[in-house]
Amino acid sequence: MELTKTYNFMRIALIAFLDMVIVAAGGLLALLVRFDFRYSSVPAEYLGAMLRFAPMACVITVAVFLFTRMYRYVWRTVGLHDVIRMVLSVVADFVFCAVAALVCAIRLPISVWFSMAFFCAVGFVGMRCAPRAYIELVRYAYRSRRSTGQRILLVGGGAAGRALVQESLSGNTSTGTICCIVDDNPAKEGKYIEGVKIIGGRERIPWAVEQYDIDQIILALPSASAEQQRSLLQICQNTGCKVRTVPGMSQLMNGEVTMRMVRDVEIEDLLGRDSVHLDESALHSFLGGKVVLVTGGGGSIGSELCRQIAKYRPRLLIVLDIYENNAYDLQQELRQTYGDTLPLRVEIASVRDKARIYQIFEQYHPQLVFHAAAHKHVPLMENCCAEAVKNNVFGTYHVVRAAEKFGAEKFVMISTDKAVNPTNIMGATKRFCEMVLQSRFDSPTEYCAVRFGNVLGSNGSVVPLFKRQIAAGGPVTITDKRIIRYFMTIPEAASLVLQAGAMARQGQVFVLDMGEPVKILDLAENLIRLSGYQPYRDIDIQEIGLRPGEKLYEELLMASNDLLPTDNKKIFVEQQPEIDRAAIMAGLEQLDAAVTTEPPLGNEQIIALMRRLVPTYHSPQEVNRNAESAPEMRSAQKEGDKELTAV
């Protein structure tokens, strides 16, 4: 500590001494300039006046600079704001010096006063800015000599872009050299950020890639909308460069951007879905202080529901899952994030086990139930129809009955777009589960279902499959090049489920707006490009034919005339008639007999029974034929052709 104080004192003393030298040298130089640098021509009276003024000016300068903290700057990081403060300090110094000279009747030519003020100001500020200028020159020379590493094109000349340029020039990162910047603001074109030129708007990206031999493009646009990001990504993909991006503003809590935060572009970025806006007060009221049970809590949607529920401080969060590995991983994650502040229980159980489900409900008496446990893989369930019925139908029914028996306030079931005019046993079982909920319109427990489409990155979804195939060198397999699907991200789906649950009333079926359709062929091609390869050249794409129970075009969830809007523009309510409970109970008895009889019924018999119980259940061949000829489906396919096209 003493050593530091001594160092600081010596440092300030040295700078003060240099300031006094500048004052004396500035006065002498001003006199020499006034008399054409002929010392012999300087009148003796002016030399005498300067000799009397200089010591006084030195004392005043040091005093003023001490007061204005001119000796406290970190010279290596001095910026424009610091320079402005220095200039103001110098002006104040010369005001005091002029007053002192007037009081002491020190007379010098007016031109000498102005020249001395100018020379001293340049000396004071220049001395303090010199270390920063030296560092910048070294950085420039370093960048000019550098020949290794990636050559980077930066998209975005705002605060995030400036931070990345500064870090790049510091030499503390080995990511490469930022060669040029693209920004859509025409006022910035031709200007420089830390010596790196802004060459124009996004239309200049292909030209810049060729001109500057670019290897990598970084999108530094954390506040850009999803649509803007997607538009830029489509341009960047055509260049063949590796494309990376910074996190969005919601992820940059402290507003700082570093190269460590730059990540590879994911397919979610390319889909361009805007962030979800939630009614936080409604969710706090809905979830805060409640006992919440999530079945299938270790799965893709279930685990994200648990993460988001935890933020609203429930009284107790219960994670129920049959697969202990996922449940354990989630438990450790939540404990690491929340510690002891989140009351958490993990229960390993199957929703098919009625006695175990009742035991858990009796033990915890959950007030809110989110039912995400289900078999969801379409082709597998086509081959195992009885298992789909046991798990999806009877597993749901056990949880429904337990919720009612033990006084749950609300039950929210995760449904699927495949329940709309189902063509497979999985979709049919989910639709029957919706019917079970709708039949309990007179129950004290409020039952509702939330229906949405494919979720990017979820277990069993197409994106992880494509990634594995690309990592193996291909080929990437798609069932049909005409297939279109609707996608949303896991966090978006979970957020909307919670919001729908908060606003739900008895028997309602909520439909989430999935946005525009996506052609699976385009999805595969773009995922290959994001991985740094070219489709059909580096990685082939093969068509293998539709799988059992698979639709060519997923139903347009938002096309129904029975949908009513809610306060959230991404959530709609589908008006459904009440269903007779006796009819549902009779259907459950038939299904129970079908899956428990010895010998068990075959798949075709179970499918035939489900078609009688679910009137909208049709064969995939029939639905695909009708879809191909329907004008709205052809329109959807055209919309899908527009999405993710990187031509």
Q: Where are the domains of the chain?
A: 2-141, 146-265, 280-642
Which is more confident, 559 or 290? 290
Where b means 16+ CB within 10 Å and e means fewer, 572-585 reads: bbbeeeebeeeebe
pLDDT of residue 523: 83
pLDDT of residue 147: 46
Task: Write the pLDDT tens digit of every residue in 181-211.
Answer: 999 888 888 888 878 889 989 898 998 888 8
Q: Which helix (H) or strand (E) holds 584?
A: helix 581-596
Residue 46 binned pLDDT confidence (cut-offs 50, 70, 90): confident
Name 415's Cβ contacts closer than 8 Å, sequence gap at least 6: 430, 433, 434, 449, 450, 451, 452, 509
The dotted CATH code for 146-265 is 3.40.50.720
Q: Are 386 and 309 in contact (CB under 8 A)?
A: no
Residue 318 binned pLDDT confidence (cut-offs 50, 70, 90): very high
Q: In 281-343, which ranges are E strands?
A: 291-295, 316-321
pLDDT of residue 77: 54
Residue range 228-240: average pLDDT? 79
In sequence order, the β-bridge partners of residue 292 are 317, 368
Q: Is pLDDT above 80 for 639?
A: no
Q: Is pLDDT above 60 for 531?
A: yes
pLDDT of residue 581: 93
Task: Write the pLDDT tens digit of every residue in 243-302.
Answer: 888 876 444 444 456 666 677 667 666 665 665 677 788 899 999 999 999 999 999 999
Q: What percent of the chain has pLDDT over 70?
A: 82
Amino acid at 375: H
Most confident of 83-87, 333-337, 471-475: 333-337
Residue range 469-487: average pLDDT? 85
Residue range 51-73: average pLDDT? 77
pLDDT of residue 554: 65
Residue 590 binned pLDDT confidence (cut-offs 50, 70, 90): very high
The residue among 97, 98, 122, 99 whose CA lies nearest residue 26 is 122
Q: Are 492 and 515 in contact (CB under 8 A)?
A: no
The residue among 532, 422, 430 whose CA lies nearest residue 471 is 532
pLDDT of residue 646: 30
Task: Write the pLDDT tens digit of every residue in 98-113.
Answer: 787 777 877 777 777 7
Cα separation of 399 and 372, whole Å? 11
Q: Are 220 and 160 in contact (CB under 8 A)?
A: yes
Where b means 16+ CB within 10 Å and e means fewer, 318-357 reads: bbbbbeeebbeebbeebeeeeeeebebebbebbbbebebb
The overall average pLDDT reported for the chain is 81
Which is more confident, 547 or 636? 547
Residue range 423-432: average pLDDT? 94
pLDDT of residue 73: 58
Residue range 6-22: average pLDDT? 79
Which is more confident, 139 or 215? 215
pLDDT of residue 276: 66
Residue 135 binned pLDDT confidence (cut-offs 50, 70, 90): low
Cα separation of 128 and 139, whole Å? 19
Task: Write the pLDDT tens digit of every residue in 458-467.
Answer: 766 788 888 8
Which tokens belong to 323?
Answer: 């697969």
Q: Is pLDDT above 70 for 230?
A: yes
pLDDT of residue 269: 67
> What distance separates the 2 farthest-apart alpha carbons in the chain?
126
Cα separation of 591 and 41, whole Å? 117
Inter-axis angle of helices 520-530 and 226-237, to 10 degrees? 70
Question: What topology does CATH give the domain 280-642?
Answer: Rossmann fold (3.40.50)
Residue range 89-93: average pLDDT? 78
Q: Which of 91-95, 130-134, 328-332, 536-540 has the lowest mean pLDDT?
A: 130-134
pLDDT of residue 251: 46
pTM over 0.85: no
Q: Is the dihedral of CA 433, 435, 437, 443 positive or negative?
A: negative
Which is more confident, 441 or 398? 398
Residue range 84-90: average pLDDT? 76
Q: What percent of the chain has pLDDT over 90?
A: 30
Q: Is pLDDT above 90 for 95?
A: no
pLDDT of residue 512: 84
Which is more confident, 39 or 427? 427
Cα separation of 117 and 130, whole Å? 19
Which is more confident, 637 or 260? 260
Sheet with strand 344-348: strands edge to edge: 344-348, 316-321, 291-295, 368-371, 410-414, 446-451, 508-512, 571-574, 563-565
Residue holding tokens 């460069």?
Answer: 241
Residue range 608-624: average pLDDT? 85
Where b means 16+ CB within 10 Å and e means fewer, 295-308 reads: bbbbbbbbbbbbbb
Do 280-642 and 146-265 fall under one CATH topology?
yes
Which is more confident, 642 or 623? 623
Which tokens belong to 134?
Answer: 């030296």
